[in-house]
Amino acid sequence: MVKLDKKIIAFLGLSAILMFPACVRKIKARQLADVSMGMSKQELRNELGEPSTIRGAMINAFDQTIETWEYMVDEGFNSKKLAAMTQSGYFAAKYCYNDAYWFFFCNNKLVKWCKAGDWETTQHEIKEIRFR
């Protein structure tokens, strides 16, 4: 009987680890109101904390360094969370269904940010940032 209990505990522990890998640090949607164009990477980090991930970086044809950071944003209760709750349960919806926002820097200054789903229109705009 003791072996069975250890197996159940091991199974539950492994399930928890596998169930929540996408549960990364996240910010509240209201924190986005504190974001301003022109912020440095350090200023954004001070406001929002460490990014969930750094998506990429490049040097464009104008010798500008372009970087993309990602933050996971908890936008509160929404239809996506409601669907997750009915399919996966409360905890999966509470901890794993968040929206990704991307923050674009040019030479260490924030020049654009948007929800990651807006990437199709954004990707062509960030390759070339001209200042007039």
More confidently predicted of 21 and 36: 36
Task: Give the model's pLDDT for residue 99.
Answer: 84
> 60, 78, 65, 28: which is closest to 128 by C-alpha?
60
Domains along the chain? 23-126 (3.30.1450.10)
- Stated pTM of the model: 0.63
Indicate whether 84 pLDDT > 80.
Answer: no
> Which of 71, 118, 117, 72 has its CA nearest to residue 96?
72
